Amino acid sequence: MTTRREQKQESRAAIITAASKLFRERGVDNVSVAEVMDAAGMTHGGFPRHFASKLDLVGEALRRAADETGGSAASPVPFEEFAATYLSAAHRDHPGTGCVFAALGPEVSRGPAETRHVLADKIERQIAEFGDTPQQRAEAISRWATLIGTLILARLAEPDALSDEIIAAGRRAVGLAD
């Protein structure tokens, strides 16, 4: 038996899940609160029971999206596996379930501090896991940057063959076999 409190938490989680996907697919500014609520199976009038504002929701949605990436600190995904999934046609073609930095990085960096901090925190935690020596960190940072930049170029490029060539170039650069 689910209590009223639990049901509310489930609704809240459904809203965040829907927002996290829609924002990455279409951009924060191009998704209305009404669309998010609809995707979560509700009407938009219920929104303020869960969030103080759209900005508040954006923060939670970014946190969710950021936390989906790279496994947990307890069980990190090996880099090769991570990169092979990251630089793939599937990831390129499905931003809604993909990397939040490649999907929303620039617009979040221009936005309010409140939401920028969410991604800044993720970057800080991620880099902290990269290693202790400056060399380890530097190498891991630049590999990560290569993944992000490659995906962004691949999503823009036309025709498909060029986009595929970009992904292949990225895979080579981070040490994956073809």
Partner DNA sequence: TGTACATCAGTGAACGCGCGTTCACTGATGTAC
> What whole-number distance in Å separates Cα of residue 14 and Cα of residue 175?
38
Give the one entry of DNA, a second copy, none that residue 26 binds, where binding means its C-beta sits below a cut-off of 5 to 8 angstroms depending on kind: a second copy
Query: Which of these ranges, 19-27, 42-50, 137-145, 169-177, lies near DNA under the rule CB under 7 A?
Result: 42-50
User: Which residues of the chain form contacts with a second copy (CB under 8 A)?
Assistant: 25-27, 29-30, 95, 101-110, 116-117, 119-120, 123-124, 127, 137-139, 141-142, 144-150, 152-153, 155-158, 162, 165-166, 168-170, 172-173
Q: Is 164 helix (H, G, I), strand (E, B) or coil?
A: helix
**Helix runs in the chain, H state only:** 4-26, 33-39, 54-67, 79-86, 89-93, 100-110, 113-129, 134-156, 160-173
Q: Which is nearer to DNA, 22 or 167 (CB)?
A: 22
Angle of CA points 159, 164, 166, to nearest 5°? 100
Judged by CB under 7 A, which of 20, 21, 23, 47 binds DNA?
47
Shortest distance, CB of residue 4 to DNA, whole angstroms?
A: 4
Distance from the first to the final alpha carbon of the chain: 52
Binding stretches for DNA (CB under 7 A)? 3-5, 7-8, 11, 31-34, 37, 42-50, 53-55
